[in-house]
Amino acid sequence: MDDDEGNIRTSTALAWIGWILAVIFLASAAWLAHRMAFVRGELNLSEGDATQLRVQLQHAEKIVGVVTSPDASHVVLTETGQPMHPVGEVSWQKNQGTLVFLAAGLRPLPANRTYELWLLPTGGKAPIPAGLFRPNEDRGATVVLPPIPANTDAKQFIVTEEPAGGSTTPSLPIVMEGR
C-alpha cells in the first residue's frame, strides 16, 4: 500500500467520524430541545406563581445567609431556674437586621400563653420584640426573620412567657437568656 492509499483511507475514516459526530450532536440537541419544552410545559408557571417562588427563594436565601454568614453572631440561650432544660440559639446579623432563632426542649404552654423572643439593645434602649412562638409536638420552635431595624446593637437576647398576643415589654421571669 502506498502513501496515497493510506491518506485516502485516513481522510475517508475522518469524514465518517465527522458525520457520525454531527448526527450524535444533532440527536442530542433535538433531545435537549424536547426535554426543555417538556420541562417548561410541566412548570407552566403563571407570572404570579413565578413571583411567589422568587419571594420564597429570597426568603430562604436570607435564612441560609444569617445562619451561615461568618459575620453573624450566634447566641445560645438557656433556661433560667427551671427543672427542664430548653435551649435556644439566635443567629443574628446586626448589619442586616436579620435573625433566626431555633429552640428545643420547650415546655408546653396553656392555650392563652406564648413564648416571646426579645432583643435587648445596648445603651438602655427599649427591648425590641423579635417574635412570638409556641413549641410544636417535639417541643421545638423557630422565629425566622422578624422585622428588626438594621444596625441594632444587641446586648442580650431573652425569652419570656407572655399572654397569647404578646406584650409590649418583657414579663418576668425570664425563661431563657443569652449574651
Residues in the chain: 179
The candidate with the shortest Cα–Cα distance to 96, out of 71, 132, 133, is 71
Beta-carbon contacts of 161 under 8 Å, excluding residues fewer than 6 positions away, are 109, 113, 114, 115, 116, 171, 175
Rounded Cα–Cα distance for residues 104 and 83 (Å): 15
Q: Of 74 and 7, which is predicted with more confidence?
A: 74
| 8-17, 77-86, 103-112: segment of lowest average pLDDT | 8-17
Q: Of 6 and 176, which is predicted with more confidence?
A: 176
Count Cα neighbours of 101 within 13 Å in the Cβ-side half-sphere.
28
Mean pLDDT, residues 72-90: 77
